[in-house]
C-alpha cells in the first residue's frame, strides 16, 4: 500500500500543495494565489485532496513550510523552514544542484546544497528589494500583468538602467522614465537587471557553484532568469514545478519523517 | 525558593522597569538613568542613589525623539530619548550619558538640550587611549566630573570607603552574572533563552545587592541540578543587545540553547572587575582600561584580529556549534567589524548567521525562518 505525504508551502503571496506517493511520485498539486493569513492555505489543501480523491486521514504525514507554516499547527504533523524545503525540492528535481536561488514574494534566499542537504544559506533583510513584491509594484506602475513581464522585457531594444534597489526609489525611477516617454519594454528589462544585480550580490556572499537552480514564483519570469544568468556567469536551471518547489521539499521531508518514525517503532 | 519562582521574579522585573523606579521613589531613593556603555555605576551606588540602565525599549515607537535625532541613529539611543520625552522616565533624578560610539556622542548633546532645566545630564567621555598612564588619568578626570555631579544631585559626599564598598558589591554581582551565564549554558532545559535574558536584563533595573542575592540563590539551585542531556543545538549570540522575548522565543521554539554570549548588554559589560583595594577612582579607571575585545573600544593590536579570535575561542570553549549575530540597525561599529568576524569564523569552520534587528521590530517572521534554517544546517 502506498504511503501518501502532503507538503504545504504557505508563502506570503501564494499557497501551494504537493501530494506524493512513496516519496517519489507526484499524485496531485494545487496553487492558490493568496498566501499566509488568507483562505488560500485551506483552499489549496481542499483542492489537492479533491484532485487526488483523498482525505486527511489518507495522508501518512503532513508537513507545512513557508512564511505561514505555523498557522497549520492543528492540521499539519510538523513544520520546517522553507529554506530547507527549497533545498530539498531542488535536489529532488536537479540531483546535481549545488546552489539554489529562491525568489519568493517577500524575500530572497540563496542556499548551498551538498549531497542534497542544505549546508549554508543567505537571506535578504527586511527590505523588499529584488523580491516578487518588487516586481508586483513595478508591474502595477507600468500597468502590465506581472506574468507578462518576461515576454515584454525580451522585446527590449535599449538598455535603461534602474539604479535603485530600494522598491520605493526604484518606483520613482520607473515613473520618471515613463514620464520621459521611455518604452515600457526597455524599462522592464532594466527592472530585471536590477533584480538580478541585487540577487547576485546576495548569492556571491556564499559563492556560486554549479549547478545553479532557481526556484520560487519569480523563476517563471524568463527576463529575470536571463538577467541572473548574465549577472552570475553561470547557467541557471528552472523547472516547470518551480512555484511548487517548497511544497515538494516539504512533501519529501514528510516522507522521510514518516519513515523515520515508523522505523523507530 | 524554586528555580521557576526565581526565574519568574526576574522576568517580572525585567518586563516592568517602571515599577522598579516607582518602588525606589516610594522608598525615598534618588534614581539615576545610565545609558550604554561602561558608565561607572559604582559612583551612583556610592552616592546612595540607584542606577537604572537605559538600553532603549522593546515596547516603544520613536515619535517625539524624531525632532532631535538623525534617522540613522540606532533605536537604542532614539528610544532612550523617546522615553525621556514621553514621560516614561520623568521620575529620574539625573542621567549619565557616555559617548563611546558615533551615535552616543552627538546624542549626549540631544539629551542635554531636550532635558534642559528638567533633568541634569552628566556628560562622560571615555578616552580612546585608555591603557597608557595619560589615558588612565583622563578616565579618572572624567569620573571625577561624574562624581562631582552625582554628589550635587544626591547631596552626599562620595567617600573612598563608600566607593570601595560599591566596587565590592558590583564585583560580586558581576561574578554572579558570569557564573549564571555558564550555568544557563549548561542547563538550557531549565533556563530558556527568554528566561536567561530576563535574568541578565533585570540586573539593570535592580539595586545590585538585591540582584546578587536573588541570582546567587538561583545559581546555587542550578549548580545542584544533574547534568543536562541537551538534544537540541547550541549557539553563541553576539551583538549590542538581544533582549526581545518574542525574538528569543524563536530559539526556545527551535530547541536552540544559548551556550554563551558576546553581547554588549550581557557579557561584554561584566567581563572585568575593579580592584577592591587602593585608590578606588584609579581602580575604576583601570577597570575600563582592562576592557578588551569590544568593538566599541580601540584596540592597539587591531591588525591581529584579536576580537574575532576571542569570539571564535568563546564559541569553541562553550561547545556551541555556531554563532548568531544580532546586527543592530545603523550600528556602524558592529557593521564595520563584521567582515573581520566573518573571516575568523569561516577560517575556523564555524557557521553563523547575521540577523538585522532594531528595537521597533514587532514581527519576527523572517528571523524565525532564518533561525530555524540555521538550526537545520548546524
pLDDT at A37 over 90: no
What is residue B22's predicted lDDT score, i.e. its pLDDT?
A: 97
Of B351, B356, B374, the CB nearest to A125: B356
Which residue segment(s) compose the domain that A253 sits in? 1-94+241-265
> CB–CB of A118 and B351 under 8 A?
no
3-state helix, strand, coil in chain B (%, to 5): 55, 10, 35
Of A118, A123, A126, the CB nearest to B376: A118
| Chain B contact set for A120 (CB, 8 A) | 351, 377
| Chain B contact set for A84 (CB, 8 A) | 372-373, 376
Give A36's pLDDT tier (boundaries 50, 70, 90).
confident
| Chain A contact set for B373 (CB, 8 A) | 81, 83-84, 118, 121
Q: Do residues A102 and A112 both lie within one domain?
A: yes
Q: Do residues A160 and A233 both lie within one domain?
A: yes
**Contacts A–B by Cβ distance under 8 A:** 36
- Tell me if A13 sits within 8 A of A33, measured CB to CB: yes
User: Which of A11, A84, A114, A204 is the mutation pick for testing B, counting most B CBs within 10 A?
Assistant: A84
What is residue A73's predicted lDDT score, i.e. its pLDDT?
A: 83
Report the pLDDT averaged over residues A155-164.
84
* Grid cell locating B303: 591588525
> CB–CB of B369 and A81 under 8 A?
yes
Q: What is the dihedral of CA B84, B86, B88, B89, to 10 degrees?
A: 20
Q: Do residues A103 and A81 both lie within one domain?
A: no
Contacts of A46 (CB under 8 A, 6+ apart): none
Q: Do residues A101 and A90 both lie within one domain?
A: no
Q: Do residues A12 and A109 both lie within one domain?
A: no
pLDDT at A126 over 70: no
What is residue B342's predicted lDDT score, i.e. its pLDDT?
A: 95
Give how far A157 is from chain B: nearest CA, Å: 38
| Chain A contact set for B374 (CB, 8 A) | 121
What are the strands of the beta sheet with A59-65, ordered from one edge? A25-32, A15-21, A4-10, A59-65, A78-79
* Nearest residue in chain A measured CA to CA from B322: A120
> CB–CB of B370 and A123 under 8 A?
yes
- Tell me if B359 sits within 8 A of B201, measured CB to CB: no
Q: B363 CB near a chain A CB, below 8 Å?
A: no
Of B370, B372, B377, the CB nearest to A119: B377
Quick check: bond before B37 cis, omega within 30? yes
Of B351, B356, B376, the CB nearest to A81: B376
- Tell me if A23 sits within 8 A of A5, measured CB to CB: yes
Instruction: Please identify among residues 327-356 of chain B the ones whose CB lies closer than 8 Å to any CB of chain A.
Output: 351, 356
Helix (H) or strand (E) holding B118: none
What is residue B13's predicted lDDT score, i.e. its pLDDT?
A: 98
Q: Do residues A135 and A214 both lie within one domain?
A: yes
What is residue A106's predicted lDDT score, i.e. its pLDDT?
A: 80
pLDDT at A165 over 80: no
Helix (H) or strand (E) holding A73: none
| Chain A contact set for B377 (CB, 8 A) | 118-121
Q: Do residues A76 and A122 both lie within one domain?
A: no
- ipTM, two decimals, is 0.83
Give percent of chain A with pLDDT exceeding 70: 97
> CB–CB of B369 and A67 under 8 A?
yes
Of A67, A81, A125, the CB nearest to B373: A81
What is residue B93's predicted lDDT score, i.e. its pLDDT?
A: 98
Q: Do residues A101 and A153 both lie within one domain?
A: yes
Give how far A117 is from chain B: nearest CA, Å: 8
Number of structural domains found in chain A: 2
- Tell me if B124 sits within 8 A of B83, measured CB to CB: no
Give how far B370 is from chain A: nearest CA, Å: 7
Q: Do residues A148 and A163 both lie within one domain?
A: yes
Give the helix ranges, DSSP H, for chain B.
3-15, 17-26, 41-46, 75-85, 104-114, 133-154, 160-186, 193-202, 208-223, 245-253, 280-289, 306-318, 332-347, 365-377
What are the strands of the beta sheet with B352-357, ordered from one edge? B256-263, B233-239, B322-328, B352-357
pLDDT at A127 over 80: no
> CB–CB of A83 and B366 under 8 A?
no
Distance, in Å, from the CA atom of B243 to the CA atom of B263, rounded to the nearest integer, reads 10
CATH number at residue A147: 3.30.420.40
Q: What is the pLDDT of residues A48-97, one digit of tens each?
A: 999 999 999 999 999 999 989 988 888 899 999 999 999 999 999 999 99
> CB–CB of A120 and B373 under 8 A?
no
Per-residue pLDDT of chain B (378 residues; tens, 9 = 90+): 799 999 999 999 999 999 999 999 999 999 999 999 999 999 999 999 999 999 999 999 999 999 999 889 999 999 999 999 999 999 999 999 999 999 999 999 999 999 999 999 999 999 999 999 999 999 999 999 999 999 999 999 999 999 999 999 999 999 999 999 999 999 999 999 999 999 999 999 999 999 999 999 999 999 999 999 999 999 999 999 999 999 999 999 999 999 999 999 999 999 999 999 999 999 999 999 999 999 999 998 888 889 999 999 999 999 999 999 999 999 999 999 999 999 999 999 999 999 999 999 888 888 999 999 999 999
- Tell me if A123 sits within 8 A of A144, measured CB to CB: no
| Chain B contact set for A126 (CB, 8 A) | 356, 366
Q: Do residues A131 and A117 both lie within one domain?
A: yes
What is residue B46's predicted lDDT score, i.e. its pLDDT?
A: 98
Q: Do residues A128 and A220 both lie within one domain?
A: yes
pLDDT at A175 over 70: yes
Q: What is the CA radius of gyration of chain B?
A: 20
Q: Do residues A112 and A216 both lie within one domain?
A: yes
Of A67, A84, A125, the CB nearest to B373: A84
Give how far B372 is from chain A: nearest CA, Å: 6
Distance, in Å, from the CA atom of B71 to the CA atom of A43, rounded to the nearest integer, reads 43
Q: Between A34 and B136, name the one with better pLDDT.
A: B136
* Grid cell locating A53: 480523491
Distance, in Å, from the CA atom of A242 to the CA atom of B31, rounded to the nearest integer, reads 60
Distance, in Å, from the CA atom of A204 to the CA atom of A182, rounded to the nearest integer, reads 32
Amino acid at each position: 500500500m502506498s504511503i501518501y505525504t502532503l507538503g504545504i508551502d504557505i508563502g506570503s503571496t501564494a499557497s501551494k500543495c504537493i501530494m506524493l506517493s512513496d516519496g517519489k511520485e507526484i499524485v496531485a498539486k494545487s496553487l492558490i494565489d493568496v498566501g499566509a493569513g488568507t483562505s488560500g492555505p485551506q483552499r489549496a489543501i481542499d483542492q489537492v485532496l479533491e484532485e487526488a480523491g483523498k482525505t486527511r486521514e489518507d495522508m501518512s504525514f503532513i508537513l507545512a513550510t513557508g512564511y505561514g507554516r505555523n498557522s497549520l499547527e492543528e492540521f499539519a504533523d510538523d513544520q520546517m523552514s522553507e529554506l530547507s524545503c527549497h533545498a530539498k525540492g531542488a535536489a529532488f528535481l536537479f540531483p546535481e544542484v549545488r546552489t539554489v536561488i529562491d525568489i519568493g514574494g517577500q524575500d530572497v534566499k540563496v542556499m548551498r546544497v551538498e549531497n542534497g542537504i542544505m549546508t549554508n544559506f543567505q537571506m535578504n533583510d527586511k527590505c523588499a528589494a529584488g523580491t516578487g513584491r518588487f516586481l508586483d509594484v513595478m508591474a502595477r506602475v507600468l500597468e502590465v500583468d506581472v506574468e507578462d513581464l518576461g515576454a515584454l522585457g525580451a522585446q527590449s531594444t535599449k538598455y535603461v538602467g534602474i539604479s535603485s534597489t530600494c522598491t520605493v526609489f526604484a518606483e520613482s525611477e520607473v515613473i520618471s522614465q515613463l514620464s520621459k516617454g521611455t518604452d515600457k519594454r526597455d524599462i522592464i528589462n532594466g527592472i530585471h537587471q536590477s533584480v538580478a544585480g541585487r540577487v547576485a550580490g546576495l548569492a556571491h556572499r556564499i559563492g556560486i557553484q554549479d549547478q545553479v537552480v532557481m526556484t520560487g514564483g519569480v523563476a517563471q519570469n524568463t527576463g529575470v532568469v536571463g538577467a541572473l544568468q548574465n549577472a552570475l556567469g553561470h547557467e541557471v536551471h528552472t523547472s516547470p514545478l518551480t512555484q511548487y518547489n517548497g511544497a515538494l521539499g516539504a512533501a519529501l521531508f514528510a516522507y522521510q519523517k514518516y519513515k523515520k518514525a515508523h522505523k523507530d517503532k | 525558593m524554586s528555580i521557576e519562582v526565581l526565574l519568574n521574579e526576574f522576568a517580572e522585573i525585567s518586563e516592568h522597569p517602571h515599577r522598579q523606579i516607582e518602588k525606589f521613589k516610594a522608598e525615598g531613593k534618588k534614581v539615576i538613568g545610565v545609558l550604554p556603555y561602561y558608565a561607572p555605576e559604582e559612583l551612583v551606588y556610592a552616592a546612595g542613589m540607584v542606577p537604572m540602565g537605559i538600553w532603549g525599549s522593546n515596547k516603544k515607537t520613536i515619535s517625539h525623539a524624531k525632532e532631535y535625532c538623525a534617522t540613522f541613529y540606532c533605536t537604542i539611543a532614539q528610544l532612550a530619548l523617546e522615553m525621556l520625552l514621553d514621560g516614561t522616565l520623568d521620575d529620574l533624578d539625573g542621567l549619565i550619558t557616555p559617548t563611546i560610539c558615533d551615535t552616543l556622542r552627538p546624542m549626549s548633546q540631544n539629551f542635554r538640550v531636550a532635558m534642559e532645566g528638567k533633568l541634569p545630564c552628566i556628560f562622560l567621555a571615555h578616552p580612546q587611549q585608555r591603557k597608557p598612564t595619560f589615558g588612565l588619568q583622563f578616565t579618572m578626570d572624567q569620573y571625577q566630573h561624574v562624581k562631582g555631579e552625582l554628589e550635587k544631585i544626591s547631596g552626599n559626599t562620595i567617600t573612598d570607603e563608600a566607593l570601595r564598598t560599591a566596587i565590592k558589591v558590583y564585583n560580586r554581582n558581576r561574578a554572579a552574572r558570569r557564573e549564571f551565564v555558564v550555568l544557563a549554558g549548561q542547563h538550557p532545559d531549565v533556563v530558556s533563552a527568554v528566561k536567561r535574558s530576563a535574568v541578565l536584563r533585570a540586573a539593570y533595573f535592580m539595586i545590585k545587592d538585591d540582584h546578587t542575592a536573588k541570582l546567587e540563590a538561583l545559581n546555587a539551585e542550578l549548580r545542584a541540578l544533574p547534568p543536562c542531556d541537551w538534544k537540541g543545538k547550541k549557539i553563541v549570540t553576539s551583538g549590542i543587545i538581544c533582549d526581545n522575548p518574542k525574538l528569543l522565543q524563536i530559539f526556545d521554539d527551535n530547541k536552540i540553547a544559548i551556550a554563551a554570549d558576546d553581547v554588549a548588554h550581557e557579557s561584554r559589560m561584566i567581563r572585568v572587575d575593579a580592584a577592591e583595594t587602593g585608590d578606588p577612582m584609579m581602580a575604576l579607571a583601570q577597570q575600563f582600561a582592562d576592557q578588551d575585545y569590544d568593538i566599541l573600544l580601540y584596540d592597539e593590536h587591531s591588525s591581529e584580529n584579536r576580537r574575532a579570535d576571542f569570539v571564535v575561542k568563546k564559541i569553541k570553549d562553550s561547545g556551541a556549534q555556531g554563532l548568531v549575530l544580532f546586527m543592530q540597525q545603523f550600528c556602524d561599529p558592529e557593521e564595520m567589524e563584521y567582515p573581520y568576524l566573518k573571516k575568523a569564523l569561516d577560517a575556523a569552520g564555524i557557521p553563523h548567521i547575521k540577523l538585522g534587528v532594531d528595537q521597533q521590530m514587532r514581527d519576527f517572521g523572517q528571523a524565525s525562518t532564518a533561525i530555524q534554517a540555521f538550526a537545520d544546517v548546524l
